[in-house]
Amino acid sequence: MAPDRRGTIAPGMRKLRVLITDGPASRRREVTSTVTSLGHEVVGAEPSPNGDHPTSSRPPDVALVIVDEDSEEALDLIRTIVRDAACPVIAILDVADRALIDKAARLGIFSAITRADDLDEMQGAMDIALQRFAEYHALEGAFGRRAITERAKGILMERGSLDEQQAFHLLREQARRTNRKVVDVAGSILESHRLLSNGKESAALDDVLLVRTEDGG
């Protein structure tokens, strides 16, 4: 039997802000009891009159969305929270319809459980969701940084009549000279290109191209 840890946070864990939404009121109260028994803070368990949820001003750490047979609103909530990237979503599945479960999964939930009264299952689901959420954004950030660098290389290749290797060398040299990251230099080039396209002066792009002159390229 798992140790009784009601109302306390286990060593090494942090207190989470948890949004609980949709489903019947009795079910939300049950889920709320489980979450608070784990020592976490429930930041919302009732929909507001206009249907808004507290995910904009200060996002919760995790959202628990109850998916039952009347699930269209729950699916809309999952879609909204995932779209806004406010926090990872855990679906509490009170439905046997496989098609609805698959639809919720395709919307981007990070975990799912069926027993919302089980402390270990609930905490495990939140741990998994938070880890997957962090990994997803790390991967998304890596792709974003790569895209910025690739676009900056393309601009340098066009403006300076360079090949791809030479363009990247310029980015790297400028980063070394200014003690900045390559992606930050690339971002400055994109901004300079945007300003120049609007007919405004900017020296950042010329500053990078200057490295080629100094290197005798």
Tens-place pLDDT, residues 72-131: 778 888 888 877 767 889 999 887 777 877 888 888 888 889 888 899 999 999 999 999
- Contact in structure between 60 and 54 (CB atoms under 8 Å): yes
Architecture per CATH, 142-214: Orthogonal Bundle (1.10)
> What pLDDT sits at residue 14?
82
Bigger pLDDT: 130 or 44? 130
What average pLDDT score do residues 28-44 get?
A: 92
pLDDT(36) > 90: yes
Neighbours of 89 (CB within 10 A): 26
pTM reported for the whole predicted model: 0.60
Looking at domain 17-117, does it have CATH number 3.30.1340.30?
A: no
Bigger pLDDT: 82 or 19? 19
- Contact in structure between 211 and 173 (CB atoms under 8 Å): yes
Of all residues in the chain, the percent with pLDDT exceeding 90 is: 17
Q: What gap in Å lies between CA 112 and CA 90, rounded to an integer?
A: 5
What average pLDDT score do residues 172-191 get?
A: 86
> What pLDDT sits at residue 16?
93
Q: What gap in Å lies between CA 179 and CA 184, rounded to an integer?
A: 10
Cα three-residue angle 126-128-133, rounded to 5 degrees: 95
- Contact in structure between 63 and 87 (CB atoms under 8 Å): yes
Bigger pLDDT: 138 or 30? 30
What average pLDDT score do residues 157-169 get?
A: 86
67: β partners = 93
Give the E-state strand segments of 68-200 in sequence order. Answer: 89-93, 111-113
Domain residue spans of the chain: 17-117, 142-214
What average pLDDT score do residues 186-200 get?
A: 72
pLDDT(193) > 80: no
Q: What gap in Å lies between CA 95 and CA 65, rounded to an integer?
A: 12
pLDDT(1) > 50: no
Of all residues in the chain, the percent with pLDDT exceeding 70 is: 76
What average pLDDT score do residues 160-183 get?
A: 86
pLDDT(51) > 50: no
What average pLDDT score do residues 162-180 get?
A: 87
> In CATH terms, are 17-117 and 142-214 the same topology?
no
Q: What is the DSSP letter of 54?
A: S
Confidence of residue 47 (pLDDT cuts 50, 70, 90): very low
> What pLDDT sits at residue 2?
43
What average pLDDT score do residues 38-48 get?
A: 75
